[in-house]
Structure 1
Amino acid sequence: MTTKMKLVKPDGSILEFHFAKGLHSSRTYRHILNFPVREDDIYLATYPKSGTHWVWEIIIMLQKRSTDYEKKVKEFAFLDHRDISTLADLPSPRVLNCHYPRHLTPKEVLSKGIKIVHVQRNFKDVCVSAYHHMKDSHERNTTSSFDEFLPLMLGTYGIYWYCSWADYVRQWEIFTKAHPDQILNIYFEDLKQLFQTTLQDSVQEIRKLNTFLGTGCKEALIEKIALACSFHNLKKADAEFKENPFKKDKRFDMYRKGDVGDWKNYFTVDQSEQVDKWIAQNLPETQLAFRYSL
């Protein structure tokens, strides 16, 4: 069943579209804008399929100063799909996570100077991961082939109704220039690379998080967190340990591959060149530097 939604865009114009009943509503995004934020909250901002689960687990371990896996999944603190009244029951400090773009971020995150961790991933791998997510989770009536799916990602609103990937990362780039001390930007590819190197080299991004968040973890613990949060170990923990009442289909795996460069198995040369042109047009004069292979 579908319903209609009207959304006021940043320029004041109205966007109207159809969506699967229960996924989003204008009431939800208004409540998120006015969501009451605590002083010790952490806000994890990501475009879909960019490493949200991964970094959420790392932050939780840093906060707890422990490598014990959190039994609850990050969806308990997921602003997009939760009745946000339930978030008041979560103990502090909370790691709130959300896919909404900067202009729909809770106002108090910005006004109170809450620490923001933003994870971004190269667009081509996002496309492939999003294709499999939509197809396997049956969230929407996904087109049958990647060739049919890719043009959707290049539209004004991408797979996510509020903005395209390019608009999303551009908004946070602008915010970072204005508020460099409030936000830490992490690349999925850097995180992936650190887990492919020796343990001595594998703590760089986690060390950055530890310093930025002021969690005070010692080097030995950071190395243990790096090992506990390898993609393989998190995939195993998600399947065997986690309590996930939001998982409708037990066959659906949130941790699919986590590779950098998987896009090469799906994109034709023409499609890759088309995306390169689209990025150049939609991210003019950007200082962001994405990697498409390791």
Structure 2
Amino acid sequence: MTTSQASPQIPPKCLQEHDLSEECKELLSILPKEKGWIGSYIYNYQGFWTSSKIIQGVIACQQHFQAQDSDIILVTTPKSGTTWLKSLLFALANRMKHPIFDQNHPLLVKNPHDLVPYLELKLYIDEQVPNFSSFTSPRLLSTHLPYASLPKSVQESGTKLVYLCRNPRDTFISMWHFSNSIRLDYIGTTNSIDEMFDLFCKGVSIYGPFWNHLLGYWKKSTEKPNKVIFLMYEEIKQQPKIQLRRLAEFLECPFSIEEENCGVVDEILRMCSFENLSNLEVNTNGKLSTGEKNKVFFRKGEVGDWKNYFTIEMSEKLNHVIEQQLQGSGLRFLYI
């Protein structure tokens, strides 16, 4: 499917290739590549698929990032509910510094992606060695990197990793919509659902294969439960209070009885809800510093939207792939 649009705009930083280093260009020439979800191509680096500019950010991050024991890093595959969990994480971890009932709360005036920045997609794309001096403890950061590709300092430190997983059907539909919205704005074309579904089932998705990504963190969450917490998007939707309390316990900042009685848990969930965040001025009209429109991060936020797109054949094909890949792991998805 091809859609025309006049005068495509300047693409976001993760798609710009004019300032790739010679080292990165040389590396790209020998990496496996496939059709890109957003840009022209997607490359396989260290066993996962991503764009050329992001690879440069990944390399810089791996070489230079020095984790602190107090760091909290949110990890997801793209389109797994990252924006929502960033807002929950920010409100939860900063509730003493920024009381949740404050009329000037940062979440009311800034997009969650600006408050919890990506390592390889923002900080290390902007600069080879970012300045972290303005960050307060705990530093809240995020990444889409598979566990094996995290900087060694993250793996070896006391840094806590919050992993969010979403069922593959909704993840795929959300990723397809998101990548097409970016493509339409900056390239002027879109990709068909059939073509991208076939790539997804082959494991060729942004930071995929999808199953490798989540299995890496699933395994670590069972081996090191104090370092990695594994959250399911659908479970947070079904039991938001229970899962938020679970996250607070993991981060060693549990809610006090006074906070519970004052409605702090309810207010965090209300402020960070899709309905509230998607209607804020900053998220309807603003842009990220990396170039993307804030509104592209708020589409539906639903569980089960895949039913509007999947054929019986698509469901059966993906079920077969997932069943094969997750065999023996004990990991199961909720399809509501």
Using the TM superposition, give the Cα deviation of residue 208 of structure 1 relative to its aligned residue in structure 2, in angstroms: 0.9
Residue 99 of structure 1, CA deviation: 0.6
- Structure number with higher relative contact order (C-alpha < 8 Å, ≥ 6 residues apart): 2
* Match 1:37 to one of 49, 67, 72: 67
Q: Report the counterpart of residue 33 of structure 2 in structure 1.
A: 17
Per the TM alignment, residue 61 of structure 1 is displaced from its structure 2 partner at its CA by 0.7
Q: 1:180 aligns with which of 216, 225, 239?
A: 225
1:61 aligns with 2:91: yes
Match of 1:209 in 2: 247
Deviation at 1:136, TM superposition (A): 0.4
Deviation of 1:142 (Å): 6.6
Aligned twin of 1:278: 321
TM-score by length of 1: 0.84
Offset of 1:169 from its aligned partner?
Answer: 0.9
Give the AA of the match of 2:314.
Q
What percent identity do the matched residue pairs reach?
28
Stretches of 4+ moved more than 6 A in 1? Answer: 139-142
Distance 1:116 1:212 in 2: 10
Q: Tell me if the contact between 2:111 and 2:283 (Cα under 8 Å) persists in the aligned partners.
A: no
Question: Which residue identity lines up with residue 33 of structure 1 in the other structure?
Answer: Q
Q: Is the 8 A contact 2:160 2:251 kept in 1?
A: yes
| Cα deviation 1:182-227 (Å, max 9, x = unaligned) | 1111111012223xxxxxxx41111111111122432221121011
- 1:126 aligned partner: 171
The alpha carbon displacement at 1:16 in A equals 2.9
Find the aligned partners of 1:110 and 1:133 in 2 and give their Cα distance: 30
Aligned to 1:149: 196
Q: Which runs of 5+ in 2 are unaligned?
A: 1-15, 41-50
After superposition, the Cα gap between the structure-2 partners of 1:30 and 1:23, relative to the gap in structure 1 and judged at 3 Å, is closer
CA contact (8 A) 1:24 1:80 kept: no
Q: Does 1:48 align with 2:78?
A: yes
Structure 1 unmatched runs, 5+ = 8-13, 195-201
2:254 and 2:221 map into 1 onto residues whose CA distance is 24
Whether the 8 Å contact between 2:274 and 2:301 is mirrored in structure 1 is: yes
Alignment CA distance shift 1:290-1:141 (3 Å): farther
Retained in 2: the 8 A contact 1:45–1:118? Answer: yes
Paired residues in the alignment total 277
Are the structure 2 counterparts of residues 263 and 243 from structure 1 closer, same or farther at C-alpha, using a change threshold of 3 Å? closer
Structure label with greater radius of gyration: 2
